[in-house]
């Protein structure tokens, strides 16, 4: 048996998990910082780093308690080291290196996006590869071809806003609060997705890249009038808001579903996996399920508790990488960008 302790601090969630054999989550503790950032309408990096410092140590102790295990029973430490907010990543990486050194345990650096791409396999109990992985989060929207836990090839990604960012910006246009995804999702359930026809931006033929900034602008002008950026919100009834949320969610979901199916055609694989915060979206889950059923493609949706940022997915992927022989030393560094 292989037991890993995982640490995630790439953005505004502090999380520690203990996972056995890559599939069995013994505990997954998540301290969110919603209240801290809500009044600013977005994540304030410096506040996020400070909150990670205050919370992380307590979470490590609590995780060991809950999983009823002691440090010597941990086989390795996994930590998100890229991509993310540099100050936040540094807290997690420094803590993981300290634990690895203090407990004499191996260290495994984990790519946060790859963890989202493989999170649908937690609870599945076996590796679903080869598959097309759709990662839809607040910072990233990407399609990958996954052949193994350590063979993850990027097929396409957003050229501007991420899908979650579009949800957050639309929620801000509609004054619905932050983070926007869950509240837009909830309102959309009472709205008519066909009430407004927002653009589905597909870019050039065959492209697996995404663009969501035009859609966000279309919502802005729909609310305030063409070319205007204020003044229209008061005229909307609650039903108008629900319809807008539904029509916007449908436009995002349609693009994500079409591109995912295009990736299936281009790669010839028979399985789709979906992860990241926006993978919790109910319209996306419904539309993807319907299209995969129609096409005879098998679909693995990440369980809700592992969609938004969490350390279970870091410990799980860390466990698979560890078994495949991956190790990092104390020279492991945090990197804000994948390319950096």
DSSP E strand stretches across the chain: 3-8, 13-20, 24-32, 76-82, 107-111, 131-136, 141-148, 151-157, 271-275, 298-301
164 binds ligand KG4 (CB under 6 A): yes
Inter-residue contact 24 to 4 (CB < 8 Å): no
Distance CA 107, CA 5 (A): 10
Backbone torsions φ then ψ of 281, nearest 5 degrees? -65, 130
Q: Which residues contact 52 (CB under 8 A, 6 or more apart)?
A: 9, 14, 88, 91, 92
302 binds Zn ion (CB under 5 A): no
The number of residues that bind Zn ion (CB under 5 A) is 2
Could you report how far apart the first and last alpha carbons of the chain are, in Å? 35
Question: Measured from the CB of residue 43, what is the shortest distance to Zn ion in angstroms?
Answer: 12
Among 242, 254, 309, 328, binds Zn ion (CB under 5 A): 309
83 binds ligand KG4 (CB under 6 A): no
Residues numbered 263-302 forming contacts with ligand KG4, rule: CB under 6 A: 276-278, 280-281
Half-sphere exposure of 260 (CA within 13 A, CB side): 32
6 binds ligand KG4 (CB under 6 A): no
DSSP assignment of 113-162 equals HHHHHHGGGTTT-S---SEEEEEE-SS-EEEEEEEETTEEEEEEEBSS--
Q: What is the DSSP letter of 209?
A: -
Question: Measured from the CB of residue 283, what is the shortest distance to ligand KG4 in angstroms?
Answer: 8
Binding partner of residue 109 among Zn ion, ligand KG4, none, CB under 5 to 8 Å per kind? none
185 binds ligand KG4 (CB under 6 A): yes
Binding partner of residue 318 among Zn ion, ligand KG4, none, CB under 5 to 8 Å per kind? none
Binding partner of residue 12 among Zn ion, ligand KG4, none, CB under 5 to 8 Å per kind? none
Cα 180 vs. chain centroid, distance in angstroms? 14
Binding partner of residue 42 among Zn ion, ligand KG4, none, CB under 5 to 8 Å per kind? none
120 binds ligand KG4 (CB under 6 A): no
The number of residues that bind ligand KG4 (CB under 6 A) is 19
User: Interface mask (CB under 5 A) for Zn ion, residues 119-138, using x and -?
Assistant: ------------------x-
Distance CA 52, CA 9 (A): 7
80 binds Zn ion (CB under 5 A): no
Instruction: Indicate the residue among 99 and 179 with the shorter CB distance to ligand KG4.
Output: 179
Tell me which residues touch ligand KG4 (CB under 6 A).
11, 137-139, 164, 167-168, 179-182, 185, 276-278, 280-281, 308-309
Tell me which residues touch Zn ion (CB under 5 A).
137, 309
């Amino acid at each position: 048996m292989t037991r890993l302790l995982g640490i995630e601090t790439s953005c505004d969630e502090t999380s520690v998990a203990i996972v056995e054999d890559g599939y069995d989550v013994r505990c997954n503790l998540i301290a969110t910082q919603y209240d801290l950032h809500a009044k600013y309408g977005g994540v304030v990096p410096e506040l996020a780093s400070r909150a990670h410092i205050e919370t992380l140590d307590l979470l490590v102790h609590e995780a060991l308690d809950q999983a009823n295990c002691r440090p010597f029973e941990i086989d390795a430490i996994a930590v998100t080291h890229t991509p993310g907010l540099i100050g936040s990543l540094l807290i997690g990486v420094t803590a993981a290196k300290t634990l690895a050194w203090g407990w004499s345990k191996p260290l495994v650096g984990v790519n946060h996006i790859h963890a989202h791409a493989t999170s649908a396999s937690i609870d599945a109990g076996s590796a679903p590869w080869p598959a097309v992985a759709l990662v839809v989060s607040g910072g990233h929207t990407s399609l990958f071809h996954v052949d193994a836990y350590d063979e993850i090839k990027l097929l396409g990604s957003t050229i501007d806003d991420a899908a979650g960012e579009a949800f957050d910006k639309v929620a801000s246009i509609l004054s619905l609060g932050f983070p926007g995804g869950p509240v837009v999702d909830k309102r959309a359930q009472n709205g008519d997705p066909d009430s407004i026809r927002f653009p589905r931006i597909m870019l050039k033929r065959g492209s697996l890249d995404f663009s969501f900034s035009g859609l966000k602008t279309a919502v802005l002008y729909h609310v305030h009038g063409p070319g205007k950026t204020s003044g229209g919100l008061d005229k909307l009834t609650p039903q108008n808001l629900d319809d807008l949320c539904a029509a916007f969610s449908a436009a995002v979901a349609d693009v994500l579903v079409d591109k995912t199916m295009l990736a299936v055609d281009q790669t010839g694989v028979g399985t789709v996996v979906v992860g990241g915060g926006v993978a919790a979206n109910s319209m996306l889950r419904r539309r993807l399920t319907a299209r995969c059923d129609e096409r005879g493609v098998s679909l693995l949706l990440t369980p809700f508790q592992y969609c938004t940022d969490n350390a279970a997915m870091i410990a799980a992927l860390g466990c698979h990488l560890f078994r495949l022989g991956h190790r990092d030393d104390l020279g492991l560094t945090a990197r804000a960008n994948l390319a950096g």
